[in-house]
Chain A
């Protein structure tokens, strides 16, 4: 079945860039998503990319997609302490409508 993998933890200094990586297995995925979860809260949609795109930029966020390697990354420029959270990568399962398959999440810790 489909699988999404992420590294578990990333620590950066305030003001640096953060890069969170994700690999997926479903080569026919059409959309890939990044969600942010703060402690005790639900998931907040950050951005998403369609599979025919290589890159999408939205203010401090840059998403890069390498479809050949099935690799997705989220770059956060000028990382702030408020960016500390868990970041989830998800792919939209191609066979069953809008079902999402999530990675286990990457904990981002920003040190001031």
Chain B
């Protein structure tokens, strides 16, 4: 089945630790996105990539980093500089500028 796979489903971070969230898609989509969701709020864009080897900051990029070495993969690293990382993280992809975004099932990140 074609889709977007996020892993792990749950992740725990210790103080001062970097953690990486995986996002893989087999939809052959060019564009990929990372969002953060906090309770009672809409989704906020962290980073996005419209093509391999290129990515742009979204509205809340501080404390996060990404890479886009392959079309199907867009991992997100939550660095120790992100002081409030506890949230639900959603990855999305779209097939083109006029195509809607489709989402993975999310990763819930918590602090130990």
Contacts and interface: CB of A to CB of B under 8 A. Distances in A.
Interface string B90-103: 10101011111111
Contact of B102 (A45, A99, A103): A45
Q: Is chain A's interface secondary structure helix, strand, loop, or mixed overall?
A: strand
Interface residues of A, number: 24
A33 B105 contact: no
Contacts of B4: 42
A42 B33 CA distance: 13
Interface residues of B, number: 27
B64 interface: no
B90 A42 contact: yes
B31 A98 contact: yes
B40 interface: yes
B42 A98 contact: no
B90 A43 contact: yes
Contact of B101 (A4, A40, A41, A100): A100
Contacts of B50: 97-98
Contact of B100 (A31, A97, A101, A104): A31
Interface in A72-110: 88, 90, 97-105
Contact of B94 (A8, A43, A98): A98
A41 B105 CA distance: 5
17 contacts: A4-B42, A8-B40, A30-B98, A40-B108, A43-B90, A45-B103, A97-B31, A97-B50, A98-B50, A98-B96, A98-B99, A99-B58, A100-B43, A100-B45, A101-B42, A103-B42, A105-B40
